[in-house]
A and B are shown apart, each in its own frame.
Chain A
Amino acid sequence: MSKSITNLKISVSGVRGVVGETLTPRLISSFTAAFGQYVGAGRVVVGRDTRKTGQMVEQAVIAGLLSVGCQPVLCDVLPTPSIQIMVSHLNAVGGIAITASHNPMSWNAMKFINSNGMFLNNTEAREMLDIYNQEHINNALEEQCRKIKTYENAFAIHQQKVLDNIDVEVIKKRKFKVAIDCCNGAGAPYGKAFLEALGCEVVAIHTKTDGIFERPPEPTPDALTALEKVVVEEKCDIGFAQDPDADRLVLVDDNGRALNENYTLALATLHLTKGSDAPVCINLATSKMIEDICKSVGSEVRYTKIGEINVSTDMMRCGAIIRGEAHGGVIWPKIHPCRDSFGGMALILELLAQQNKS
């Protein structure tokens, strides 16, 4: 198989490819037009991570949306969970997150979001692909072309939602000193201010947003040596590590040890299941730790297929209190049924504040 074919992945989690090889303006705009046609001629929220190729992809996305009569609402650089929250907040017909998440810098991708603010599920993704595969698409005529909208500081909506659901005063009282590693990603413009709003003293690293990731984008313990060092040197209570689109969260304890990704969800679960018997949804690859925690508090554990959308769907069905994935993905439905590093950070800090330890 040629290199270029292995470089393109069209799946339920979106369209991913290597820029300069497979992810071309034509492919992006055609896919976006098919998505626009699928969700209908309404507002579509568009945000991106910090990749160098983000503007190129964004412009093709705008063209694709306009060409079928959708109205792009541009949110500039924005974490993926914030984009999902904006779709719900604006009652948009859908959203597109331009991010290859934890893939290397040469990759980019589009993740398609439906009007519930959730990624397209298997059926929806197939329906969209069916439209893409048709020769003919209903192009908008001149008078059907919509204007481009821009939305300034969309992250404020996300931040407020989290703060409204957390005991800010308890956290503030503790005057935590925390470190955050933003992976030079979409969380970088917002992470420090978010933690400061919780009364923390913040040491932020990898905050340049020039599209160059100064550490491996996947937040595995091996990739977090810089954060570990900062936590120790600066005597921080805790360290947080995000991935380039700020949906995943990994913790570094006060001894400067990066915790296995499962711990993020385990700790958040421990916190949220207190005084509640609502079920917890996790995928098959998630640590047994979660099951043990749930057993101890009497919550039901529901296992689902791997992939955020599968976990989210099941959680919506059974009214779970929290759900998540092994890869540091905390989903706190009270905020939004999406993986959210910001909601995760707030929950962990609340847990620490209430338990009075690190």
Chain B
Amino acid sequence: MSEFIKLGNAGIRGVVGSGLNLRKAGNYCSALATWLDGGRVVIGCDTRQSTPMLKSIAMSTFLAAGCEVIDADITPAPLAHYLVSRLNAVGGCLIGASHHGLGWNAILPLNETGACASPTQTQDILNILHSRQYKLAEWDKVGSVQKVDDQLTEDYIKDLLKDIDLEAIRRSRFSVVIDCCNGSASVLVDKIFAETGLNLIKINDQLRTYLPHDPEPRPRTAYQAKALLEALGADIGFVFNTDATRVSIVTSSGETLSEELTFPLVANAVLSKCDGEQMVITNTCTTRSLDDVVRQHGGELIKTRVGQAAAIEVMQDCGAILAGDGMGSVAFKGNVPAFDDFRSCLIILENMALKGQFSSALVNDIPRYHIIKSKIPCESTQAFAVLHHCSEVFADAENIDDTDGLRFDWTDGWIHLRVSETEPILRLICEWPTEEQARNTVELVKRTILRNIGR
């Protein structure tokens, strides 16, 4: 387990030391540098303890391949994505473990638009990695390191706030709890909200390498924000992962919302500001609440494979207004071709201000279901046989979709089963109108699978 490593659309990921070690990281970066083929690159980091090690080997291999390295250092992921396109860079990488637990880390490749390398581009990188033919620049063409001009950060913030009704937010004098999970959002959160007139209550914004709680935004990880919100009577709480790409919400009534509801809430707010039919991108295992919201606004929902790379690629291709998933991530049409928690927060605050509603009331506009996400330990070697078995067991479904893993749809609920891109597990998601129905289905599927793999 600990020597496990995942190579794919989400870059290279693993447990530091035993899985993602210096040599594997170095080879991956060499392949990435070869694919980028010189030119300007951006490296952005989160706050994990092993990040400087991975950053150094990335910098060294990029320099050796003749790249000019823009060292964005500890920076929220959305800003790093923005910098690539603003600086006309050829790409770069993000280093950080995002939502993974302590001990993990990852290197995520970026392309020339600043988005995560697309699935096709990822394949090219992996082909170079497997061929072991890496580019080395002549000694006098070896690159140099530059820092990021502060003005670019200002520009990103200006862009972020551009069409937000700041006046309305200011008038509302919200008290807002933000939990940065000691991640990279900590470096920017004050600057971004400086002009919003919020009473900003920041927690876990220490830029320390230890994690104050499980970094995956979930109801169970929002307890610190919830406790503070209730004690202070704050209007809303936001809980980030360590690179500001996933966010979950705590409402004014103290409800720790499922991270599945972040995207429907943001979509509801964004779509109500737009005219005409808008396209929205998500994956095949996102809550039906989103389907309902997009339908209410007369929009079109397109479903892709799971992962940021796939969602953003389709978003860019068809000019969609939003792309996101059920993990609390949303990307917006504009200059940041990636998930951006800051924008999600601003959109929701603006929506509260314009409607004059409590955050607990915003949720009432969204049809709600009960969703259960579960992990089933399963080695990669067995995983695909298990999926095949399930497709026979649940053949009575009204619709079976194999865009990514398998999704079985019935009138009142659905099951999604997928081999994880990032861990040696099967991810199981079930959604039904009631908790009991959802729970029973999860048990049924788990029994079916465990019996199949002989446990």
Contacts and interface: CB of A to CB of B under 8 A. Distances in A.
Given A52-B142, A63-B53, A143-B103, A20 B60 contact: no
Nearest to B210: A143
Contacts of B105: 142
Contacts of B50: 66, 140, 142, 145
Q: How large is the interface on A (under 10, 10 to 19, 20 to 34, 35 or more residues)?
A: 35 or more
Contacts of A178: none
Interface stretch (B78-86, B132-140, B341-349): B132-140
Interface stretch (B14-22, B108-116, B313-321, B402-410): B14-22
Contacts of A107: 139
Of B57, B140, B144, which is in contact with the most chain A CB atoms at under 10 Å from its CB? Answer: B57
Interface in A80-109: 105-108
B13 interface: no
A52 B140 contact: yes
Interface string B1-37: 0000000000000011110011101110110000000
Contact of B60 (A56, A139, A141, A148): A56
B145 A105 contact: no
B17 A139 contact: yes
Interface in A37-74: 52-53, 55-60, 62-64, 66-67
Contact of A26 (B17, B23, B48, B49): B23
Interface string B122-155: 0000000000001011111111110000000000
Contacts of B49: 142-143, 145
Contact of A29 (B60, B63, B137, B139): B60
B41 interface: no
A25 B140 CA distance: 16
Interface in A13-34: 18-21, 24-26, 28-30, 33
Interface size class of B (residues with CB under 8 A): 35 or more
Given A29-B57, A59-B60, A142 B48 contact: yes
A110 to B, nearest CB: 13
Contacts of B60: 25, 28-29, 56-60, 63
B64 A63 contact: no
A55 B144 contact: yes
B272 interface: no
Contacts, number: 121
Given A53-B142, A62-B52, A139-B17, A29 B136 contact: no
B64 A56 contact: yes
B448 interface: no
A144 interface: yes
Given A29-B26, A67-B21, A145 B52 contact: yes
Considering residues B18, B63, B103, B134, which has the most beta carbons from chain A within 10 angstroms of its beta carbon? Answer: B63
Contact of A148 (B52, B61, B138, B139): B52
A63 B50 CA distance: 10
A147 interface: yes
B59 interface: yes
A142 B63 contact: no
B353 to A, nearest CB: 41
B64 A30 contact: no
B414 interface: no
A324 to B, nearest CB: 31
Contacts of B102: 142-143
A53 B52 contact: no
Contacts of B52: 62, 66, 145, 147-148
B56 interface: yes
Contacts of A140: 16-17, 50, 53
Contact of A141 (B30, B56, B103): B103
Contacts of A28: 60
Contacts of A105: 139-140
B174 interface: no
Contacts of B432: none
A149 to B, nearest CB: 11
Given A55-B145, A142-B49, A145-B16, A19 B64 contact: yes
A143 B48 CA distance: 9
A5 to B, nearest CB: 15
A320 B53 CA distance: 42
Which of A52, A141, A142 has its CB near the most chain B CB atoms (within 10 A)?
A142
B17 A141 contact: yes
A46 to B, nearest CB: 11
Contact of B22 (A21, A56, A67): A67
B238 interface: no
Contact of A106 (B15, B30, B134, B139): B139
A142 B16 contact: yes
Interface string B75-110: 000000000000000000000000000111100000
B17 A29 contact: no
Contact of A20 (B18, B54, B138, B144): B138
Interface string A322-334: 0000000000000
A59 B69 CA distance: 12
Given A56-B64, A142-B102, A145-B52, A63 B142 contact: no
A-B pairs, 6 with minimum CB distance:
A59-B60, A63-B56, A63-B57, A66-B53, A60-B60, A56-B63
Interface of A: 18-21, 24-26, 28-30, 33, 52-53, 55-60, 62-64, 66-67, 105-108, 139-145, 147-148
28 contacts: A20-B64, A20-B136, A24-B134, A26-B26, A29-B57, A62-B52, A62-B56, A63-B25, A63-B26, A63-B53, A66-B53, A67-B53, A105-B140, A139-B16, A139-B22, A140-B16, A140-B17, A142-B16, A142-B17, A142-B48, A142-B50, A142-B105, A143-B49, A145-B49, A145-B50, A145-B52, A145-B53, A148-B52
